[in-house]
Structure formats: structure tokens, C-alpha cells
Amino acid sequence: MNYLGKDVELKVVGTRPIRPDGVEKVIGRAAFGADFSVAGMIHGKVLRSPHAHARIKSIDTSKAEALKGVKAVITANDLPNIPSEEAFVGEGPANFRDMSLNTIARDKVLYDGHAVAAVAATSPSIAEEAVRLIKVEYEVLPNVIDVEEAMRPDAPVLHEDLFTQGVDPKPTKASNIAKRMEFKLGDSASAFAKADVVVERKYKTAPVHQAYIEPHACVVSYGADGQAQVWCSSQGQFMVRAYCAKLLGMDIADIRVFPLEIGGGFGGKTLVYLEPLALALSRKSGKPVKMTMSREEVFRGSGPTSGGAINVKIGATKNGRIVAAECEVMLQAGAFPGSPIGPALMTPFAMYDLSDVTIWGYDVVSNRPKVAAYRAPGAPVSTFATESAVDELAKQLGMDPLELRLINAAKDGTKAVYGPTLKDIGFVETLEAAKSSPHWNSPLGEAAPGKLRGRGIASGFWFNIGGESSGATYVNEDGTITVVSGNPDIGGSRASMGMMAAEVLGMDVKDVRTVVGDTTSVGFSFLTGGSRVTFATGMAVTQSAEMVRDELCKRAALLWEIPSEAVEWKDGKAYPAGENAGKFDPLSVADIAAKSARTGGPITGKASINAQGAGPGYATHICDLEVDEETGHTTVLRYTAIQDVGKAIHPSYVEGQLQGGAVQGIGWALNEEYVYTKDGRLDNAGFLDYRIPVASDLPMIETILVEVPNPRHPFGVKGVGEPPIVPPMAAVANAMENATGVRMGSLPMSPPRIRAALDAAKG
């Protein structure tokens, strides 16, 4: 059933209770990946490649093995050499052979930081010393870092067996282009003839890291009976279990994964890095093994997300109707195929009702770490380009960029270029909210001497996903409720799960405790990603709570000896449904729980579903900034994030998603990038040189929650985590253009680049 009607009075959903896991986190007692220990555990460390591209000629581990305290040394030979097998994992396609080779290199290293061997020893310092004693003989090969250079016919080839998919005829020569994809609606090439104004420009974005503050960490214990336990921080306990089973050649039933608290992920913890190595080390040593990454290892050996090169061409009539659009996206995958090229093509025009549009792109490998998902993977890269182009179009047409967006906005019934007909969307509502926002209606203000001020606006889209999810609701002996979710809580989902269950049961949220189950205590759930948890797992939890509510009515009926249809549930109690049902005092959950042994035993609801009908998310952001002409330094003065969220279960955590996503986008726009040396080594693998936004860089981030309910979710939820990182790069670039008159086509818009662009504009 759903709770969307105007006559439905919501008592819990939409309020702001304190999250159930909050106290543990503010007193320092919550256990994250590296906080967990088991008796007798030893410590693992990884040897990583110093080369961007090299053949491994030999690995001599004898000196490391001879060091006192060393219990196991592994190379790729300690893991099965698995065949190529395509699969849809995480938020995109992958290949388990590649996943294995990314975890530990076999014949070739493909990036600076690629794991080559691992050691387990009685202390972390002995393990580190042993890593230094491993001798690897490399034959260094030419490398390629840049995406466009990697596409050239004469570029060094990473994989001799990589032939471009999606082109006809199939190439006979291996290249770094793994795949070509295209979406097409109408005929863009001829539709440009109808345009009065055409803008065309090339854009480029740098790869950026998810930069969660918690480095990857795990503890594993492989038993002599071949059964293993894994305690780790990840975006999916079932994902860790499945990947480890595949990479180690184990049965899924022989691995039990306990999810620890996760210290940020943003998509970057939808893969395994350490867990398979720790399992192999534990198997070889016979001891539990703990592994943690250093920050340098996080930068060199995990994530980041793709950078890209994008060409955009858009044409419009004088009255502002976009009549033709084309976009080409070249997206870095890192060392193995599997960039988010699909989403990068699906998203950047989905804000608009277009009849003639072609968008195509390439998945390109190069000597960088294999990319991992990062919040709306692919969309920020391509949307930076298209939303910059829309702004440029508005300027050429002499139109307000918000009005131009309103004229072309996608509405219910708009057919998206990637196939679906959009419904129940709230894009226009975000634009209208922007138009009437305090921010849009306040003057920009005068810049100080030597500074330039500007305002920009941009929008973004993310399709959001549903998928397989499980939730359970248990009535405890005293009438309190335990809810078990199958998804790691990355930003407050225990609060939203508990609130939905409390709403269904008519109870105080304080009497509902939500926990995240291990892989044996709740049904399978796909990982925490795609902004799916409050939608899909929330739907499962809601259904499990409804089962419990219905069962509570049945039990009351048994106690009263009346038909169960004659019982109604209201405010956490069973009541006779009317005068004909008889006169009975209402029964609380505690009353019914106390007598459950007499009425059939424990009261439990469990739901395992494949949730369909995720509602797409739209966001519109406004940015005011000031640029220092002398230094090129940019200060964000004011920022507003507006988003259609369907229904905010816990508005504070929804606002938090908008604020956090916007600030990550501001970092992406202004500062963040992977910097490589000429020989292909990462040159800024630390938080000092890879600078994410800090508190003093930012103003308050204003939020406006637009609620156009998703009728396919019981409370109207749409995913909210990913859309907020889509508009910021263009919002900042458009504000920059407004301030300086210079269109910045390349990210990040760091001070040296701004200076160079201002100097070039002056001539």
C-alpha cells in the first residue's frame, strides 16, 4: 500500500529525530573498518608497482619469507587465474578476470600503485619491512595517461586482447578503446539546419578521487575447514562476499561478511581491494589477518572516477527552443575497461525535451588506477560540458539561462534519448523553485577592487536505481521493534528505515531500532549505491513492517476471538474495527507480544524484493563567486542546491546529501585533480596536495527540497544522493564566465588556470 494521499497523516516520516547510530558516533565508540580486531590476528601489507606500465619478469619473495615474524607472502599465483567473464556489478559492467588482475597484478603492472604482492606478519612494521625485501624485476614499458593520447593509433597498448566493441567491422588491431556506445533520437545532423544559433566547444575534466576520509580496511579469518569470516567497511556486505568468492574460488556459503561502519564511500567502496588479498594471506598463514590502506595507497590504488574529454554542439532557434544537440564523450576507465560511459551518455541531455539528439562515447583504458563509481558516475563529466554549452547558448541568444531551461525542460511524457518516457518528474518544479528562491532574487553585490563577481546556474539529472533488497521487522518480547536492513548505512539510512517502519506501525521511532545485518542475518541486498537504499530497501522494510502490522491484527483477533478483518491498527494499537466487532480494550504491541506464544509464536515480517520504478532525480544549483584577478583564486560566496527528492523521509539527512554533493562538486570544479609526472607516477597522493574543500573555503550551502512524489514508492521516495554532484561544475563554470567573461572549458578551474585564461583574454 502507499501513504501518499492527502488524507494520510504522517507522524514520523518528514520529522527530524536523532539517528539511531548517532550517540556511538559522537562518543568515538562506533567501529569502522580499522577499529575492529580479533584475537591472534596478524597484519598484512601490500607491495605496489612504482611503474605506470611494466612487464613483471620475476618476483623473488625469499628474503621476505625469511624475515622473522613473517607468516605468509602471496603473489597472483596464490589466487586462481580466472577466465574473462562479463558481469554487471556495482554501478556498471565489469569483468571478474579484470577485477582479479586489478586486485593483484599477474604478468603486467598497469599503473603506479598496482598491487604486486602482499605480506602478513606479526606486526605492521615487520610486514612493511618484508614488503621492502621483495625483489621484483620489471621490464618498463611506454605508458599513456591522457585519455585522448590513449585513443591514438600509435599509443602504447595496455591489453593485447582488447578490441573495440560496438564498432562495425570489429577491429583486427588491439587498442585502448574498449567500447563505443551511442544513443540517438531523431536526426540531429539535419536538424541543425533549423537552428539560428549554434554553440560548439570542447571540454575536459580531470579524474578526481572520492576521497572518503576512512581508508579501506578489513579483518578476515580463514578457517581450516575452508570457511571464512570478513569484517570490513564497504558499500555492500553481499558484494564483498560475492567478489571474494569469485576471486578466491570459494563457495558463497563459505564466506560470512560482517559490515562495519563505513567512513564514507560515495561509490568508491563498491569494489574489493584488500579483502581477497587478506583471505589469501589468512589461508596461507592460518591466522586472522588485518589490512588497512594508508592514504597514499587509497589515492594510488583505489578509485578514482573518470576524467574525460567532451565535444558538445547545440543549436537553438531565436526564441530559445533547442532543435538539435550532439555530444561526444571520451571517458577514462583507468587500467581496465569499465568507465561509466553508459550513464555519462544517458544523463547530460535528460533535463530537456529534445527531438533530435545524438550522443556517443568511448570507454578508454590508460595507465591509471581502474576507476570506481563516484556519485552519479559519468554524469558530472558530461553534464559539465552540456550545461556549460546551454549557458553559452543563453548568452548568445541574449536570454536568461533559467528561462532557456524552462522553455526546453523535460516534463512528464518527454522521451529521453536513452529510451524511457519520463514520468512523475519534477525538473520544472526545481527551476520554478530556483526562480522564486531568495538567492536568485537577491542582487549579486559589488565586487571589491581587483575582484570579479558572477552568478551561474546549472541543472542535472540522475536516473536512480532500485534493485534487489531485503528488510526484516521483528517484534521483540517486550513489544519493541528491531528492523534489519541489508544495506550498509552510508549517510543515515538506519534513521530513514526505522522511521518508515515506525510510521507503518504507528509507533514512536524511539521504540524501533534499526541495524545493518551481516550476510547471514538478512536476505540478499544489492549494494548501497545508485541512490537506491531509501527507495528499494526502504520499500522492503516498509513491506516487512506491514506484514508485522497485519500479523499483530491477526493475533489481536485470536485473543479477542473475533475475525481478523474486524481488527484495525491505529497509533500502534489494535482496536475493534467497529461496534459490531465487540467491545475490547485496545492492545498495544507489548500486550500482543507478551501473549505471542499463545497465538502462534514470534511475530516477524521479512521482505525480499526486486524494487522497480525508481523515480529520476533532478537538481538545479545556483552559485555566486568572486575571482581575485591577481591570484586567480576563487571564493564561492553563496550557493543554493535545489532538488526534487520525491519525499524527504528525514529532511536533515536529505539536506545533508544535497550539501555534501554540492561541495564535492565545488572541489571537482575548482581544485581537485590527479597530477602525474612525465613517467606516469601519481604526484599528489596525499590530502596536502590533493586538496578537497575545507570549512574555510565555503559559505553555508542553502537547500530547497522540492517534493514531487514517486508513486511507485510507498512514501513517494526518489533517490537523493547522486543528483547533487551533477550540476556544480557547470554552475561554477557559468558563474566564472559571468564574472570574468572567460569560458573555462577545462577542470579544475584552479588559480594558475584562471590566471592563464584571464591573461589570454586580455591578449
Partner 1 sequence: MAKTHVTATINGEETEFLCDGQQTMLDVLRDEMGLTGSKEGCGSGDCGACSIIVDGRLVCSCLMFGAEAEGTEIMTIEGMADGENLHPLQQKFLEHAALQCGFCTPGVLVASKALLDKNPNPTEEQARYWLAGNLCRCTGYDKIIEAVMDAAAEMRGE
Return the active site residues.
Answer: 722
> What gap in Å lies between CA 731 and CA 320, rounded to an integer?
20
Closer to partner 1 at the Cβ: 43 or 368?
A: 43
Count, residues near partner 1 per rule CB under 8 A: 58
Angle at which helix 651-670 crosses helix 728-740, to 10 degrees, equals 50
Closer to partner 1 at the Cβ: 53 or 269?
A: 269
Closer to partner 1 at the Cβ: 128 or 628?
A: 128
**Grid coordinates given for 653:** 539527512
Smallest distance from the beta carbon of 292 to partner 1, in angstroms?
8
Smallest distance from the beta carbon of 456 to partner 1, in angstroms?
18
Using rule CB under 8 A, residue 686 touches partner 1: yes
Smallest distance from the beta carbon of 322 to partner 1, in angstroms?
32
Q: Quote helix, strand, coil % in the chain, to nearest 5.
A: 30, 25, 45
Closer to partner 1 at the Cβ: 418 or 687?
A: 687
DSSP state of 257: E
Using rule CB under 8 A, residue 698 touches partner 1: yes
**Cα-flanking dihedrals φ and ψ of residue 429, to 5°?**
-60, -35
> What gap in Å lies between CA 382 and CA 111, rounded to an integer?
25
Residue with cell 529534445: 354
Closer to partner 1 at the Cβ: 32 or 526?
A: 32
Q: Which residues pair with 109 in a beta bridge?
A: 54
Candidates 193, 224, 688, 760; binder of partner 1 (CB under 8 A) is 688
CA-nearest of 619, 693, 686 to 660 is: 693
> Which stretch, 222-230, 288-296, 364-372, 519-527, contacts partner 1 (CB under 8 A)?
288-296
Sheet holding 54-60, edge to edge: 108-109, 54-60, 135-140
Q: Pick out residues in 727-746 that bind partner 1 (CB under 8 A).
A: none
Using rule CB under 8 A, residue 19 touches partner 1: yes
Cα dihedral 148→151→152→154 (10° resolution): 130
Cα dihedral 390→394→395→401 (10° resolution): -90
> Which stretch, 258-266, 327-335, 566-574, 608-616, contacts partner 1 (CB under 8 A)?
258-266
For 228-237, letters b (16+ CB in 10 Å) and e give bbbbbbbbbb
Residue 338, sorted as left (phi over 0), alpha (psi -120 to 50) or beta, turns out to be left
> What gap in Å lies between CA 448 and CA 432, rounded to an integer?
31
> Which stretch, 31-39, 66-74, 316-324, 625-633, contacts partner 1 (CB under 8 A)?
31-39
Using rule CB under 8 A, residue 711 touches partner 1: no
Smallest distance from the beta carbon of 739 to partner 1, in angstroms?
22
Smallest distance from the beta carbon of 8 to partner 1, in angstroms?
25
Q: Which residues pair with 642 in a beta bridge?
A: 620, 704
> Which stretch, 158-166, 255-263, 517-525, 558-566, contacts partner 1 (CB under 8 A)?
255-263
Q: In terms of DSSP bridges, do strands 289-292 and 42-48 run parallel, antiparallel, or are they unpaired?
A: parallel
Candidates 652, 746, 755, 758; binder of partner 1 (CB under 8 A) is 652
Using rule CB under 8 A, residue 30 touches partner 1: yes
Using rule CB under 8 A, residue 696 touches partner 1: yes
Using rule CB under 8 A, residue 31 touches partner 1: yes
> Which stretch, 448-456, 580-588, 592-600, 655-663, contacts partner 1 (CB under 8 A)?
655-663
Asked whether the CA dihedral 200, 201, 202, 207 is positive or negative, the reply is negative
Smallest distance from the beta carbon of 266 to partner 1, in angstroms?
7
Residue 581, classified by CB atoms within 10 Å of its CB into exposed (0-12), middle (13-18) or buried (19+), is middle
Using rule CB under 8 A, residue 664 touches partner 1: yes
Residue 192's contacts (CB-CB under 8 Å, 6 or more residues apart) are 198, 313, 315, 323, 324
Using rule CB under 8 A, residue 513 touches partner 1: no
> What gap in Å lies between CA 522 and CA 530, rounded to an integer?
21
What DSSP string describes 553-573? HHHHHHHHTS-GGGEEEETTE
**Grid coordinates given for 430:** 526545481
Closer to partner 1 at the Cβ: 347 or 657?
A: 657
Residue 33-52 contact track with partner 1, rule CB under 8 A, x = bound: -xx-----------------
Using rule CB under 8 A, residue 262 touches partner 1: yes
Residue 654 amino acid letter: V
Smallest distance from the beta carbon of 635 to partner 1, in angstroms?
12
**Cα-flanking dihedrals φ and ψ of residue 549, to 5°?**
-60, -45
Candidates 294, 311, 317, 588; binder of partner 1 (CB under 8 A) is 294
Using rule CB under 8 A, residue 490 touches partner 1: yes
Cα dihedral 262→264→267→273 (10° resolution): -60
Sheet holding 634-644, edge to edge: 451-462, 617-628, 634-644, 701-706
CA-nearest of 671, 651, 645 to 724 is: 645
Using rule CB under 8 A, residue 16 touches partner 1: yes
Candidates 491, 576, 632, 727; binder of partner 1 (CB under 8 A) is 491
Candidates 12, 54, 211, 504; binder of partner 1 (CB under 8 A) is 211
Residue 186's contacts (CB-CB under 8 Å, 6 or more residues apart) are 354, 355, 356, 357
Using rule CB under 8 A, residue 132 touches partner 1: no
Using rule CB under 8 A, residue 261 touches partner 1: yes
Kind and range of the H or E element at 552?
helix 538-560
Using rule CB under 8 A, residue 56 touches partner 1: no
> What gap in Å lies between CA 112 and CA 384, rounded to an integer?
28
Closer to partner 1 at the Cβ: 25 or 202?
A: 25
Instruction: Tell me if 322 sits within 8 A of 315, measured CB to CB.
Output: yes
Using rule CB under 8 A, residue 214 touches partner 1: yes
Candidates 1, 5, 28, 224; binder of partner 1 (CB under 8 A) is 28
Candidates 3, 32, 231, 352; binder of partner 1 (CB under 8 A) is 32
CA-nearest of 650, 552, 641, 537 to 593 is: 552
**Grid coordinates given for 657:** 546529501
Smallest distance from the beta carbon of 298 to partner 1, in angstroms?
9
Residue with cell 506464544: 597
Candidates 263, 301, 315, 454; binder of partner 1 (CB under 8 A) is 263
Closer to partner 1 at the Cβ: 559 or 662?
A: 662
Candidates 54, 181, 662, 670; binder of partner 1 (CB under 8 A) is 662
> Which stretch, 71-79, 204-212, 393-401, 620-628, contacts partner 1 (CB under 8 A)?
204-212
Smallest distance from the beta carbon of 455 to partner 1, in angstroms?
19
> Which stretch, 339-347, 583-591, 688-696, 754-762, contacts partner 1 (CB under 8 A)?
688-696
Binding site for partner 1 (CB under 8 A): 16, 18-19, 21-23, 25-32, 34-35, 125, 210-215, 261-266, 292, 294-295, 490-492, 650, 652-653, 655-656, 659-664, 686-688, 692-698, 700-701
